Amino acid sequence: MRLGQGGLVDRDRHLGFRFDGHAYEGLEGDTLASALLANGIRLVGRSFKYHRPRGILTAGSEEPNALVTLGRGAAQEPNARATTVELRQGLEARPQNAWPSLGVDALAVNDLLSPFLSAGFYYKTFMGPHRIWERVFEPAIRRAAGLGRLSQEVADLQFEKAFAFCDLLVIGAGPAGLMAALTAGEAGADVILADEDFLPGGRLNAEREEVGGRSGAGWAAEAVTRLEAMPNVRIMSRTAVTGVYDQGTYGALQKHPAAAGRPEETFWRIVARRAVLAAGAIERPVALANNDRPGVMLAGAVRSYLNRYAVAPGRRAVVFGASDEARRTAADLRRAGVHVAALVDARERAETSDFATYAGATVERVLGREVEGVAIRLGNGREERVQADLLAMSGGWNPNVHLSCHLNGRPVWDESLSAFLPAPGAVPGLIPAGSCNGAVTTAACLAAGREAAARALEDLGLKATAPDLPEAEDRDPQARPIWVVPGKGRKWVDFQNDVTTKDIELAARENFRSVEHMKRYTTQGMATDQGKTGGVTALSILADATGRSIPETGTTTYRPPYAPIQIAALGAGGEGRGFAAERFTAAHPVHLAMGAPMVEAGLWFRPSYYPRTGEKTWRQACDREALMVRETVGVCDVSTLGKIDVQGPDAAAFLDFVYSNTMSTLKQGKVRYGLMLREDGHIMDDGTCARIGPDHYLVSTTTAAAGEVMRHMEFAAQVLRPELDVHLVSVTEQWAQTAIAGPESRDLLNEVLDSPLDPGTWPFMACGAVTVGGVPARLFRISFSGEHAYEIAVPARYGESLFRQLVARAEARGGGAYGMEALNVLRIEKGLLTHAELDGRTTAFDLNLSGMMSKKKDFVGRAAAGRAGLLADDRPRLVGIRPVGAVRQLTAGAFLFDPETESTRENAQGTVSSVAFSPTLGHFIGLALLKEGPERHGETVRMVDHLRRVSTLCEVCDPAFFDPAGGRARD
C-alpha cells in the first residue's frame, strides 16, 4: 500500500490504469510494479513451466517474474517487465500464461506433477517418431508452457533507428555514472549519459542515505540539472545499452513516452571514442525452499519500493541476508510502518540492533501459497516459525559485468568479493567503474566514476578539472555471500524458467557438467531476463555438484542484447516500401501510363509488357511486341543497364586486364561485346564496351550486376593493378537509354535525329555522338534482338520525353514499345545470354565462348579458367532445345535426361536455363546446359519438370534459333 509521505512520486498526478481487467490508480513516477504493489496486488503472473503463482521479485530490468502483456489487439506487447514499465494514464496490462484466470490456473496441475517435469523431461519423455513430436507433442507443450504471445497481426506502431556519436559514453546514471558524466562534461568532452530508468540516479533514488549533505536522490537530481545545463552532455533516459560491438560501437534501445507521431522506441547505434561502464550490480535471491512465492522480494527492491515509490510491499516482514544491509532494510521497513518480525542474519557476528535478530541463522523455507510466514533454522539446529507476509532477502550482489563480456571477454572471479568482475581491457576503450566493478559503498562508486572519467579524458587528450567528490556513505557492509540454504524442498534459481537447484544437480549427475551444457539442459538463464538474477547462483550450485570452484566452473557466454529488444526496433524503417530503395527510370511515368505491369530487376522497376485492348494474357502482348520488332520497329527502355565511364592513359590496358577478350585493339567509334570473369574463372558478367575516345571507354553491364561489376573494377584498379592510371565513374544514372530495334529502326531514328544517319559511317557495332532535338546524345548500333537496331542515350532529364515520342512514332509505323518479356523472347531466339545462363557457375567454355578468352594477355580469371575441371568435356554446355513430341511445352528450371533413362537425380544430363514461346517460329524454344551439349546437336533428350509435372521430348540444336548467320543485325 502507498505510504503517507516520501518517495519520488508526484502525489498530485493520479494515473488510471487497468490490470487483469480491473481499474486501478497510481501516481506519476510509478512503475506498473510499484503501482500494483500500492494497490495491494502481489500476485501478478504464473510461472513458465509449473504455472506457480508469482509476484514481483525486483525493482529493475532483471525482473524474472512480473511479465505482463501491454495493450490490446494488433499492437499488444508481450513479456513487458512490470518493473520497467513507466506508468501512464490509460495503461492496460494483462497477466500471461494463466488460464482461465490469474487466481485459478488450470495448468497449475503441472506444479503437482513437478517430480516428473525436471530438467530434460521433454527429451526423455516425448521420444518417438519424428512426426508425432512435430504434430502432437510440440504444439501441446507450446500451448502449456511459454510466455506472452504476439498478436500475429500487423501493428500500426512506429519504430526508428538512429546513430549517435560522442567522446564518452557513460552507461548507467547511478552515483558512478553521474560522477563520470560530471567529470567529463565539465572537461568539455562530448558526453552521452545513457540510463535504463526514466529517472536517473540508480540506487541513489532507492536508498535513504546522504550524499553531499543532502538526500542521495536530491544530489542525483542536482547532478542531472548540472548536466542538463551543459551543451556538450546528452542525457538519454529510458535508454538501455544493449550490446557492445567493434570499434567503440554500442547498441542502445530508447523508449519514448507516448505522444502523437512519436516512435515507440529508437534503436541507437552509438559510436563512442571511450566509454565508462557504470552498470551497477544486481542483487541475488537466496536459493531456499519455496523462495518463488508472491511476497518474497529482494531486499534492495524492498528498499526501492519503500523509498522511491513510497510503497510498502507488505505489513509484516522478515529480513534475511548476510550483510549490514539487512539492518538497513529492516530500518527502512520500520520507518515506513512495516512491522519487522525478524531480522535473520546468516553471519555469526551480526550487527547489533534493536530488531528481533537471529544471528547465525537462515531462512530455510517460505510457508504459504503466498508468503504467510517463514521457517528459520537457528544456529543451534532448532527450527522457529515466524509469521510474515513479506520476505526481504539478499544473497549478495552480482556486479553487472554483461556488457564487458560482449566482445568475448570472460569475467574474472574476485575471491574477496565472491563475485565476477569485468576482465581488465575486456572491451577496448571501456572502463568499468562503481559497483559493476566491485565497489561496495556509495563513496567508492562516486570516486570510481570520477577516476574512470579522468582516465578516459586523458585518453581523449582532454584535461579533467576533477570536480569535488561529495561526502557519502563509506562503510563496508561486511557482506558474506549466501547461495543456497540447506534443507528440503524446491529452491528456485531461475524463476523465469522454473529451474531449481535440483535441476542443476540433476544436470551434473547426468554428465551435463559444462556450464554451457547445464544451461541448455535445464534452460537456466534463457528468455527475457537471461539469468540476470540466477546466473551466478546456478554456477555456484553446479560448482558444488561437480566438485569444482566457481571460477573453474566459469560462466556462460554473455551475449547481446543485455535487455530485450523488439524485432520491430531492429528492423525499423524496413517495413513495406522501406525494405529497399525503388529505382525508377526517367521514362517510368510513360510505362505506368501505358498500363505496363512493372517487374523488379534488382532495385529497378522495369515494364514487363504493354497490354493493348483485347489482349487477355501477357503472352498475347508479348507475342505482338516480339513480332513487331521482327517486322517493323520496337522501342525499349534499357536505361537500367549499368554504364561505367573508364578514362585515363592506361584505360585500354586496364580493360584488357578486366575483360577476358581484348579491348585495346578496339577502334574509336566502335563497340565490342566483352566478357568479364571472376578470379575463380567463372563468368561474372557480359556486356558491350564502346571506345569513345583514345583514352575513353564506356563499359555497359547487365542491370543486375552493375554494382558488382563497378566494385570488381574498383578492386582491380586499386588493388590488382594500382600501377595503371585509370579512372572509373558510374554514369548509369546520367543517361537514359532507349533501344530501337527492327527493320524500320533507322527510319524511326532519322525522324528524331537532327541530321540523318549516313549508313556508310554507321555499320553494325559503330558508336558515336549525335544530336536529337538539339540535345547531345550517344548512339550505339548494337542489337540484343538480332534485328537492325540502335541504342540511343540522352541525358536523363530528356529520357521521358524521348521515350514517349519514340513510342508514338513507332506506333505510327505499326510498331511500338516492347517490354522485358518480348526482350527475353527476342534474345532467346538469337541464343543471346542473360544471368539465367551467366548464373555464377558457368564458364566461357560452358557457353561456347572459349574464343573470347585471349591467349595473348593476362586477365582476371585466366589462370583459374584454365583448370582441367573447368574445361572437362562432360561439363554441361550451352545448347538450344525445341519440342519434337506431342507435348510442346518447355519450362525453365527443368532437367534433361536421355529419353530411355529414368528421370532421377543421378541420370540428369543438364538443366533448362531459359524458355520462351517464339511467335516467329511458332513453337517453344529453350536454352539449356547439357553435358557434352555442342556434340549432341540433332539428338533427342527428354525434358522433365518434376515440380510442374511436364515431360517433353526435345531435339538438341544450336542455341541461335533465328537468323543464325546474323545478317539482319548487320545489314
Partner 1 sequence: MTDFRLASVPPATGPLPVTRGAMTLSLADPGPLWSVAPHRGEAAAVSRALQEAIGVSLPGPGRRHAAGGASVQWFGRNLWLVAGVAPPDLPGAAVTDQGDGWVTFDLAGPEGADVMARLIPVDTRPAAMPDQAAIRTELHGMMVAVARTAPDTLRIMGFRSMASTLTRTITEAMERVAAI
Tell which residue, 570, 572, 491, has the closest CA to residue 537. 491
Cβ contact 610:596 at 8 Å: yes
With CB under 8 A as the contact rule, the residue among 573, 595, 840, 899 that binds partner 1 is 573
Radius of gyration, alpha carbons of the chain:
37
Q: Phi and psi of 141, rounded to 5°?
A: -65, -40
Q: How many residues lie near partner 1 (CB under 8 A)?
A: 66
CB of 733 to partner 1, least distance (A): 4
With CB under 8 A as the contact rule, the residue among 151, 315, 798, 911 that binds partner 1 is 798
CA dist 48 and 499 (Å) reads: 10
Collapsed DSSP state (helix, strand, coil) of residue 324: coil
CB of 805 to partner 1, least distance (A): 7
Binding segment for partner 1 among 313-321, 473-481, 723-731, 832-840 (CB under 8 A)? 723-731
Residue 607 contacts partner 1 per CB under 8 A: no
CA dist 637 and 604 (Å) reads: 12
Cβ contact 640:601 at 8 Å: yes
Residue 751 contacts partner 1 per CB under 8 A: yes
Question: CB 282: neighbour CB atoms within 10 A?
Answer: 23
620 vs 647 by CB, closer to partner 1: 647
Which grid cell sits at 937? 546437336
Local structure of residue 718 (DSSP, 8 states): I
With CB under 8 A as the contact rule, the residue among 115, 760, 774, 938 that binds partner 1 is 774
CB of 604 to partner 1, least distance (A): 7
List 777's β-bridge partners, or say none. Answer: 770
The Cβ-side half-sphere exposure at 580, using a 13 Å CA radius, reads: 9
CB of 696 to partner 1, least distance (A): 8
Identity (one letter) of the amino acid at 32? L
527 vs 603 by CB, closer to partner 1: 603
- With b for 16 or more beta-carbon neighbours within 10 A and e for fewer, the 226-236 pattern comes to bbeebebbbbb
CB of 258 to partner 1, least distance (A): 11
With CB under 8 A as the contact rule, the residue among 186, 645, 685, 787 that binds partner 1 is 645
With CB under 8 A as the contact rule, the residue among 598, 775, 864, 953 that binds partner 1 is 775
Residue 383: which residues within 8 A CB-CB, separation 6 or more? Answer: 364, 375, 376, 377
109 vs 258 by CB, closer to partner 1: 258
Which grid cell sits at 141? 507443450
Identity (one letter) of the amino acid at 113? L
Residue 730 contacts partner 1 per CB under 8 A: yes
CA dist 792 and 30 (Å) reads: 69
Residue 570 contacts partner 1 per CB under 8 A: no
CB of 582 to partner 1, least distance (A): 5
Which grid cell sits at 735? 543517361
Residue 694 contacts partner 1 per CB under 8 A: no
104 vs 581 by CB, closer to partner 1: 581
Residue 171: which residues within 8 A CB-CB, separation 6 or more? Answer: 177, 194, 241, 250, 275, 276, 277, 278, 279, 403
Residue 649 contacts partner 1 per CB under 8 A: yes
List the end-to-end C-alpha distance of the chain, in Å, as a whole number.
96
CB of 730 to partner 1, least distance (A): 8
CB of 647 to partner 1, least distance (A): 3
CB of 748 to partner 1, least distance (A): 12
376 vs 810 by CB, closer to partner 1: 810
Q: Phi and psi of 791, rounded to 5°?
A: -125, 130
461 vs 922 by CB, closer to partner 1: 461
CB of 765 to partner 1, least distance (A): 23
With CB under 8 A as the contact rule, the residue among 118, 387, 801, 911 that binds partner 1 is 801
Collapsed DSSP state (helix, strand, coil) of residue 684: strand
Residue 370 contacts partner 1 per CB under 8 A: no
CA dist 55 and 37 (Å) reads: 10
Residue 451 contacts partner 1 per CB under 8 A: no
Residue 461: which residues within 8 A CB-CB, separation 6 or more? Answer: none
CB of 70 to partner 1, least distance (A): 21
CB of 775 to partner 1, least distance (A): 5
Cβ contact 839:878 at 8 Å: no
The Cβ-side half-sphere exposure at 113, using a 13 Å CA radius, reads: 11
With CB under 8 A as the contact rule, the residue among 274, 293, 327, 583 that binds partner 1 is 583
Cβ contact 554:410 at 8 Å: yes
CA dist 431 and 415 (Å) reads: 21
List 342's β-bridge partners, or say none. Answer: 318
702 vs 732 by CB, closer to partner 1: 732
Residue 731 contacts partner 1 per CB under 8 A: yes
CB of 583 to partner 1, least distance (A): 4
With CB under 8 A as the contact rule, the residue among 88, 269, 410, 520 that binds partner 1 is 269
Residue 839 contacts partner 1 per CB under 8 A: no
CB of 163 to partner 1, least distance (A): 5
CB of 756 to partner 1, least distance (A): 9
With CB under 8 A as the contact rule, the residue among 288, 699, 794, 944 that binds partner 1 is 794
Cβ contact 796:736 at 8 Å: yes
Cβ contact 229:490 at 8 Å: no
Residue 578 contacts partner 1 per CB under 8 A: yes
CA dist 293 and 232 (Å) reads: 47
Which grid cell sits at 434? 562503481
Cβ contact 168:192 at 8 Å: yes
Site for partner 1 in 144-203 (CB under 8 A): 158, 160-165, 190
Binding segment for partner 1 among 471-479, 489-497, 752-760, 918-926 (CB under 8 A)? 752-760
List 556's β-bridge partners, or say none. Answer: none
Mark residues 323-362: x for contact with partner 1 by CB under 8 A, - for none: ----------------------------------------
362 vs 700 by CB, closer to partner 1: 700
Q: Which residues bind partner 1 (CB under 8 A)?
A: 158, 160-165, 190, 256, 259-263, 266, 269, 271, 573, 577-578, 580-586, 588-589, 603-604, 645, 647-649, 696, 718, 725, 727, 729-736, 751-755, 772-775, 794-802, 805
